[in-house]
Amino acid sequence: MKPLLLATLLVAGLALAPAAVRAHGAEDHSHDDKAATAKAAAATATGALVADPSAAQRLPDGSLFVPKSVQYQLGLRHRVAVAGEHPVSVEFNGRVVADPQASGRVQATQAGRVEGGPGGLPLLGQRVAKGQLLAVLQPSRGAIERGNQQALKAEIEAQRALAQRRLQRLEQLEGSVPQKDIEAARIDAQALQQRAAAIGAGLDSAEPLRAPVGGVVSAVHVVAGQVVDARETLIEVIDPARLAVEALAYEPVLPQDLAAASAEVAGRSLELQFVGAGRQLREQAMPLLFRLRAHDAVLAVGQPLKVIARTSKKTTGVAVPRSALVRLANGEMGVWVHGAPERFTPRRVSVQSLDGTTLLVRSGVEKGERIVTDGASLLAQVR
């Protein structure tokens, strides 16, 4: 009986095993299905299924999915679009120029050899005072010219000696000769002495080259011992605290409406003061002169600048920093709009400059939308 009972129990166990396996396969996993459905629905809400929810990625519709952690790493910041009335601005191409009242050039008045002053030739960036000796110009003359001058000097010296002796004889005969003859001889002797001294000074003395204004040496075009020609520029001096900006306006009516102006330099907006406009066209444009209000700006003469002038006219738009403007994938200029907590949408916009650091968005953005201001260029690199 025992072997028969054991065999019966073994057959019954084998018969029940598939049922147990089937029972495990049919186990209820409804909570997993609900989570997957919720995740798919959330992904669908962003426009497409997100392959990796922990990484930033570009969606098929051109928008971006950027998790909160990545937003923090990129340092993204946004600003709510607020429409307002702002002055109409125009842009000019300009360059930094030196103030003619606070700059000067040291030029050679004649051909000669340049030698350093008591402290040698000045160096770039060296501060000098008005009238300070910067260099010495030794006149260079040919052998024939120098010989002629020496011969002329010897002739005048001989004439002066004769005039001096004649004067002495007349003075000895004072009282017997007219006084007017004595005075005439004395004047002739003095004139010949002055002529001889002038020619001797021209032969032997060097010409001192002094700073025309006080400021900083901006350019040195000569080295010690160099032979230069007349009217050649040797040294330039400017006052860095009195620089100006010259711009070109292609519409002559614009200067009448200018209210204020600025220029961007190294991320800093410099305020400019409008001085005046020239009445002679240059390159088919009217030159405008602006004076820098800030004296601590690091600028160089000849440096190109973009001058943004505000007029008295008004327009409506949203003011945003220049860092918000990026170049989109199609090459157009636009901004990133933060539409959802982890979604950013590109928006093509039309803008104009307000000042050196601010732009005016005239179309493409609705009131109340959040525009990315910091890190917008990093969003454009997400693929």
- What pLDDT sits at residue 180? 84
- The DSSP-derived string for 153-168 is HHHHHHHHHHHHHHHH
Torsional sign, CA 160, 165, 166, 167: positive
CATH 2.40.420.20 fits 57-88+316-379, yes or no: yes
Please count the other Cβ atoms lying within 10 Å of the Cβ belonging to residue 275.
Answer: 12
Using an 8 Å Cβ cutoff, are 121 and 223 in contact?
Answer: yes
Helix (H, G, I), strand (E, B) or coil at 326: strand
Using an 8 Å Cβ cutoff, are 356 and 270 in contact?
Answer: yes
- What pLDDT sits at residue 217? 94
Using an 8 Å Cβ cutoff, are 67 and 55 in contact?
Answer: yes
- What pLDDT sits at residue 27? 40
| Measured distance between the N- and C-terminal CA atoms of the chain, rounded to whole angstroms | 77
**Widest distance between CA atoms in the chain:** 189
CATH 2.40.50.100 fits 104-237, yes or no: yes
Residue segments in the chain with a per-residue pLDDT below the cut of 50: 1-48
pLDDT tens per residue across span 328-348: 877 788 898 998 888 998 889
- What pLDDT sits at residue 171? 83
Domain boundary assignment for the chain: 57-88+316-379, 104-237
